[in-house]
Amino acid sequence: MTVCPRCGTTIDDFRRTGLLGCAECYRVFREEILLTLRRVQGNHTRHEGGIPAASEEKYSFMLERQHLKEEIERAMREGRYAEAEELQQRLKESNRTRRREEQS
């Protein structure tokens, strides 16, 4: 029987509840998950949806923040400290702007 080594969820647990116990389950039960998706959605096993119009601005902001954080980490790892500081300032300003917009 297939068991997730991280959380102990079994394939039977997944079949019974449709729930996974942790992120590792997605790798361990990949084939079963794909079979279930195909049964439910046909051959559409890849997400092709969009962002709800009401959430698009918030989603864009979250993506921008994530991108800046990744760039800061990369710059720090590569010893580009001045660039990392500039990126950090951009992130702070972006956060301040977002808070002002939310308060308006």
Q: Is the pLDDT of residue 54 over 80?
A: no
Q: Let me know whether 71 and 99 are in one domain.
A: yes
pTM: 0.47
For residue 49, give Cα distances in angstroms to 1, 38, 57, 75.
34, 17, 16, 33
Structurally, how many domains does the chain consist of? Answer: 2
Whether pLDDT at 19 is above 70: yes
Q: 70 is in which domain, residue-wise?
A: 53-103
**pLDDT greater than 90 at residue 56:** no
Looking at the structure, do residues 42 and 57 belong to the same domain, yes or no? no
Q: Which of 47, 63, 79 is the last residue of a domain?
A: 47
Shared-domain flag, residues 37 and 7? yes
**Does the structure show a pLDDT above 90 at 83?**
yes
